[in-house]
Amino acid sequence: MNPSKICVIGGGGFVGLVTSLGLSEIGHEVISVDVDPNKIDQLNAGKSPIYEYGVDLVLNRNLHNGRLKFSTDLQSSVKSSRVVFVTVGTPSLESGQIDLSQVIEASNQLSICLDEYRIIVIKSTVPVGTTDLIKGILDKKSHQDCFDIVSNPEFLREGNALKDFFFPSRIVLGGDSNGALSIMKSIYEPIIDRSLFVDGIENPQSGSTPIPVIQTDIASAQIIKYASNAFLATRISFINEISGICEQVNADIKKVANGMGYDPRIGHSYLEAGLGFGGPCLEKDLNALINTAHQNGYDAAFLQAVLERNDKQVRSVVNKVERLLSADISNRTIGILGLTFKPGTSDIRNSLSIRVIRELHKRGAVVRAYDPVVKHETLELDSNINHCDSAYAAAKNADSLLILTGWEEFLHLDYQRIYSNMSNPIIIDSQNLLTPSDMIELGFTYTGIGANTLK
Ligand SMILES: NC(=O)c1ccc[n+]([C@@H]2O[C@H](COP(=O)([O-])OP(=O)(O)OC[C@H]3O[C@@H](n4cnc5c(N)ncnc54)[C@H](O)[C@@H]3O)[C@@H](O)[C@H]2O)c1
C-alpha cells in the first residue's frame, strides 16, 4: 500500500473520528477537519469527545507518530490532500427527510479549494441524488475534471466502531471512475487483504479470503446502506411483534428467538426483543428510505409499518409501569438505569431511553436516572431528569426501576441492596438482561419483554 494524504471533513464527529483514526492507523497521513473548535482542541490534546472502546489509545498513538492531525482550517487541509472523505452529519428533519445542510456547506467550502484533481469520498449516509447535488456545487467553482466522487457508505456499529472499521464485513464502493475506485481499493488494502494487526484492539482470527469489496454505481451503493439499516430495523420490529404475541400466550421470546436463530436462513443477530431501535441511524435512515420511495411515487407501506411498530414499543413499556403501579404514575418516583441508546457508547442521540423518560414525565412521574458514562452536563436539554451518581441512588425510594440500556454493569449490581432501598420493589427490564427467577426469588415483582412473568 502506498500511503495517501487524506483529509477527513467532519473529523470531530463519530464516523469522522473513527475514519481518521482508522486511516492513520493503517499508515495514511490524515488531516482531520471539523467546524467545532472545541472538539479540535480536545482531539489535539489527545482527548476523545466520544466514549468508544480503543479510541483514546489509537488517537494518542497516531497523534504521537505524526500521521494524524486535527484542524479547523478546511481549505489548507484539502489543499494538502489527494483524497477527501466527507463524514458530516445528515440528521432527520421533522418531516423525516434528510437535512443536507452540513453536506451542502461542506461542498461549498470544498468547491473553492479544488485547484487540482482529488477524489471526494462520501461516507455520510445520503439519499440517492445527493451526489448530483454535490457535483453541481463543486462544478460551479472548481476546474473541470478536477474531481471524482465515490460513495463509500459506513457500516460501523457504535460500541464496536473501531473493530468494525478495521475488520468490516464488506467495503462498498460506488462510482463510475475506475481510476478513483482502484485508488480507494489501494487505500483500504491492508484491511481488504486482512494483513492488519491493530495493537490494543481485539483482532479476529485472520481469515484466508479477502474482505469482499462490492463495486457498484453510486445509487446502488447508497441504497445498499439504506436497505441494510432498514433490514436491521425490520428484524427488531419483527421480534418485538412476536414478543407481544408471546406475552399473550405465555411463551418466552428469549427461547423463541434462540430456537429461530439456529436456522441458517435466519441467524441470531438482531433478534433480541427490547425497547426497539433508537440511536442516530436506524430510524433516520428508515425514514429517509420511505421518503425516497414516496418522492419517486412508490408507497413503502411495509417500511412504514416497521417504523410504527417501533413507536408502539416505548409506549408499551410505559404502559407496563402504569399497570404495575395501578394506573396513576403522577408523582411516583421511577428509577432509570441506562440513558445511552445502546451499551458501549456515550451517544444519547435519539435514545429510546430518553423517549421513555419524556413519556414518563408527560404522565407526571418523577424520574431519577443513572448511566455509567453519561454525565450530568450532557443532559442539559432534559433538565427534568434527576441525574444520579450510581444505580443504587437511582433506585433509592423508587416506586419502580426500569432497565433501559443493556450495560453489563447492571448485571452485577447488588439487587438485594436495591430491593431493600426501593419503596416498591418492581423491576421492568426492557433489555431482558436479568434472570427473572433470580429477581422473583429476591422478592421483586419483575417483568421483562416478551414473557409473562407476572402471571
Ligand atoms: N454514528 C453512527 O453510528 C453512523 C454509522 C454509519 C453511518 N453514519 C452516518 O455518518 C454520518 C455522520 O454521522 P455521525 O454520527 O458521525 O455525525 P456527527 O454529528 O457525530 O458528526 C458530524 C461532524 O461533522 C462536523 N461538521 C459539520 N459540518 C462541517 C463542515 N462544513 N466542515 C467540517 N466539519 C463539519 C460536525 O461539527 C460534527 O463534528 C451521517 O450521515 C450518519 O448517518 C453514522
Domains in the chain, start-ordered, CATH in brackets?
Answer: 5-216 (3.40.50.720), 232-447 (3.40.50.720)
| 151 in contact with ligand 1, CB cutoff 6 A | no
Q: What is the pLDDT of residue 435?
A: 96
Condensed to tens digits (0 to 9), the pLDDT of residues 125-153 reads 999 999 999 999 999 887 777 999 999 99
| 11 in contact with ligand 1, CB cutoff 6 A | no
Residues with active-site annotation: 281
Q: What is the pLDDT of residue 205?
A: 74
Q: How many Å apart are CA 396 and CA 422, to the nearest integer? A: 5
Please compute the mean of the pLDDT values over residues 376-401 and round it to a whole number: 83
Going by alpha carbons, the residue nearest to atom 35 of ligand 1 is 10
380-389: list long-range contacts, CB under 8 Å, 24+ apart: 382/354, 382/357, 382/358, 384/357, 385/336, 385/357, 388/335
Q: What is the pLDDT of residue 16?
A: 98
| 125 in contact with ligand 1, CB cutoff 6 A | yes
Condensed to tens digits (0 to 9), the pLDDT of residues 28-87 reads 999 999 999 999 999 999 999 999 999 999 999 999 999 999 999 999 999 999 999 999
| 343 in contact with ligand 1, CB cutoff 6 A | no
The one-letter amino acid code at 372 reads P
Bridge partners, 216 (sequence order):
174
Please compute the mean of the pLDDT values over residues 381-399 and round it to a whole number: 87
Condensed to tens digits (0 to 9), the pLDDT of residues 183-230 reads 999 999 999 999 998 998 888 876 779 999 999 999 999 999 999 999
Q: What is the pLDDT of residue 386?
A: 87
| 105 in contact with ligand 1, CB cutoff 6 A | yes
C-alpha cell at 1: 500500500
In this prediction the pTM is: 0.95
Checking if the pLDDT of 252 tops 70, the result is: yes
Condensed to tens digits (0 to 9), the pLDDT of residues 275-314 reads 999 999 999 999 999 999 999 999 999 999 999 999 999 9
Mean of per-residue pLDDT scores for the chain: 94
Q: What is the pLDDT of residue 142?
A: 75
The ligand 1 atom at the shortest distance from the C-alpha of residue 39 is 39
Cα 15 to ligand 1 centroid, rounded to whole Å: 6
Cα 447 to ligand 1 centroid, rounded to whole Å: 37
Contact 26, 2 (CB under 8 A): no
